[in-house]
Structure 1
Amino acid sequence: MLAPVVMCAVTYMAAASPARADELTGTLKKIRDDGVVVLGVREASIPFSYWDGGRTVGYSQTIALAIVDEIRKALGLPHLRVREVTITSANRFPMLVNNQIDFECGSTTHTHERENVAAFSNTFFQYAVRMITRKNAGITDFPDLAGKAVVTTAGTSDERLLRQLNSDKQLNMRIASVKDHADAFAAVKSDRAVAFVMDEPILYGFRATDAHPDDFIVTGTPLGLESYACMFRKGDAPFRDLVNGVISRMQTSGEAERLYNVWFTQPIPPHGINLNYPLSPEMRALFAHPNDKALD
């Protein structure tokens, strides 16, 4: 079911004459010189970029592979190798800056502050920041977390929002920041924390793939609206234009909406769970008018 989606994502891409080696700069030159594109991937950002037991799959992983295919065309290297490197919320920026990955399209939030460190593509997803908690915990909104143990993922924009809320509202939450999303949800399941604060679609992903999804609810007045984008090194206009060309064509052609429906409204691997997360009006507007604006 997934392979045809990847194929469809790249069939409409405009044919380009391969760039001459002496014309290349930045990331495209590095990829051609190395003979490999190094793609940063996530282990547990369901349904964006995650390991299904056999390979990395997901909504944004499919976009990343479409970009890789366009790189192959631009460089005239149809057999260009792809090496996947697992990244976390905490190490993704150093790994990019230190040339350990060439780019990533996972679940990285585009913020104005982060533009000091990395460059960001056109947005491929917009979402709210909320929380997941046990249905019987009696928690419906963020003030209910006062004095309680709460978990989030280290190195995320959500951590900053949560700590700011804690300070502004003097909630005295005991906030723990853990390595990755799976560790954070595990803390809620083991009752080490009453809530996991994160991007809404990721929370729906964990709820849907849990053995007892009805035990959990996603709730809370959104702490903010944010956007995901692919991330690559600053000052690289040719690579930015290539990436944005792929994303824009997917969105305006209708392919992005079809891809969205595969990952958010239909059963997904490895267990065939449906997130039942329909396309929002904001996402529909984004597909009609692609842009690279941070929402913070």
Structure 2
Amino acid sequence: MRFSHLLMAAIGAGLLVSSPASAQDLTGTLKKIKETGVIAIGHRDSSVPFSYFDDKQQVVGYANDICLKIADAVKQNLGLEKLEVKMVPVTSATRIPLMANGTIDVECGSTTNNLERQKQVSFTLTHFVTANRFISKKANKFETLEDLKGKTVVSTAGTSNIKQLTELNNTKNLGMTIIPAKDHADAFLMVETDRASAFVMDDVLIASLAANSKNPDDYVISKEALSVEPYGSMIRKDDPEFKKVVDTAMGNLFKDGTIAALYDKWFLKPIPPKGITLNIPMSDEFKQVLAHPTDSGDPKDYAVKQ
């Protein structure tokens, strides 16, 4: 597995506790934040449990908690007495454009780190590893992608999932009608109301949607995995100074056990708004990431070493 070179360099140099940066040395995102006193965090509205609105319309979630820790580290690095955290809503379709044009500085959601996206943005160290699967109603007895031949299938617009689904539909001649939904909640609703036979998405997200639905037992997630999906928070490309601060902050969360505590909080304990426990144990793939941090976008780097 490829380690984050920036993180390993920081560890080797004993720089895991960062010191305030001098203003004249700043560039890119750090300079922007220093001058404005604001860090803009892109958040999702229904990516449970990563980034979503609770019943009080407050942004909460596992990725959100991680990004708030990153904001604290940036504040310390810049030697700021105050740092305003501005929460900016993003969708699957708008998250990369809003990152590129400077509207947001860090994106906190459920974004897959892959090699294609790395051409446009950079990623923090991986903070979750999931798989691309589909959810359907148990009564329909769909088990594999082949069972969806000729069916109407939904996925979320602007995601790697819908891109992969479209490619598989073409290469396997499945004849599926693929519908792009505006967000995960809308996609799940299409299955719930029988407007689509299945919803293709990261398994942790569809498990969360099913758990919070009116009749959770009505649904089943496919055992067949279409791909491995590492999650990371997006930051702007070609900004090594900011990435170093962010990766150092993430490395500290891994090292001091904070990330494990956050995982326990959001995946193994009751979460808002309904107090439902997702009960998703930490995967072997993610345990391996905690032991050997990486920002790789290559799925092969997440294969569990035996």
Shorter-chain TM-score bucket reads: over 0.9
Equivalent residue for 2:304?
Answer: none
Where does 1:147-186 land on structure 2 (aligned, <5 Å)? 147-186=150-189
Corresponding position: 1:99 with 2:102: yes
Question: 2:269 corresponds to which letter in structure 1?
Answer: Q
Equivalent residue for 1:34?
Answer: 36
Residue correspondences, number = 284
Equivalent residue for 1:248?
Answer: 251
Once the two structures are superposed, residues 73-104 of structure 1 have per-residue CA deviations (whole angstroms, 9 ceiling, x without a partner) of: 01111321011010000011111111111111
Instruction: State the alpha-carbon separation in 2 of the partners of residues 255 and 197 from structure 1.
Output: 31
Report deviation, 1:145: 0.4
TM-score, structure 1 length as denominator?
A: 0.93
Report deviation, 1:15: 4.5
Report deviation, 1:105: 2.2
* Structure 2 unaligned blocks of 5 or more: 1-14, 300-306
Equivalent residue for 2:46?
Answer: 44
Corresponding position: 1:283 with 2:286: yes
1:21–1:29: 8 Å Cα contact kept in structure 2?
yes
Question: 2:221 corresponds to which letter in structure 1?
Answer: V
Instruction: State the alpha-carbon separation in 2 of the partners of residues 138 and 169 from structure 1.
Output: 20
> SS of 2:125's equivalent?
strand
Instruction: State the alpha-carbon separation in 2 of the partners of residues 17 and 259 from structure 1.
Output: 25
Where does 1:1-296 land on structure 2 (aligned, <5 Å)? 15-54=17-56, 55-296=58-299
Instruction: State the alpha-carbon separation in 2 of the partners of residues 23 and 295 from structure 1.
Output: 33
Q: How many percent of aligned residue pairs carry the same amino acid?
A: 44
Report deviation, 1:119: 0.9
Report deviation, 1:32: 1.2
> SS of 1:279's equivalent?
coil
Question: 1:35 corresponds to which letter in structure 2?
Answer: G
1:112–1:294: 8 Å Cα contact kept in structure 2?
yes
Instruction: State the alpha-carbon separation in 2 of the partners of residues 220 and 169 from structure 1.
Output: 19
Instruction: State the alpha-carbon separation in 1 of the partners of residues 287 and 108 from structure 2.
Output: 20
Report deviation, 1:14: 5.4
Once the two structures are superposed, residues 146-177 of structure 1 have per-residue CA deviations (whole angstroms, 9 ceiling, x without a partner) of: 00000000111101110111111111000001
2:128–2:232: 8 Å Cα contact kept in structure 1?
yes
Superposed CA RMSD in Å reads 1.3
2:55–2:272: 8 Å Cα contact kept in structure 1?
no
Question: 1:109 corresponds to which letter in structure 2?
Answer: T
Range 162-171 or range 15-24, more displaced: 15-24
* Structure 1 unaligned blocks of 5 or more: 1-12
Range 39-48 or range 211-220, more displaced: 211-220
1:226–1:295: 8 Å Cα contact kept in structure 2?
no
Report deviation, 1:258: 1.7
> SS of 1:122's equivalent?
coil
Equivalent residue for 1:3?
Answer: none
Report deviation, 1:295: 2.7
Equivalent residue for 1:4?
Answer: none
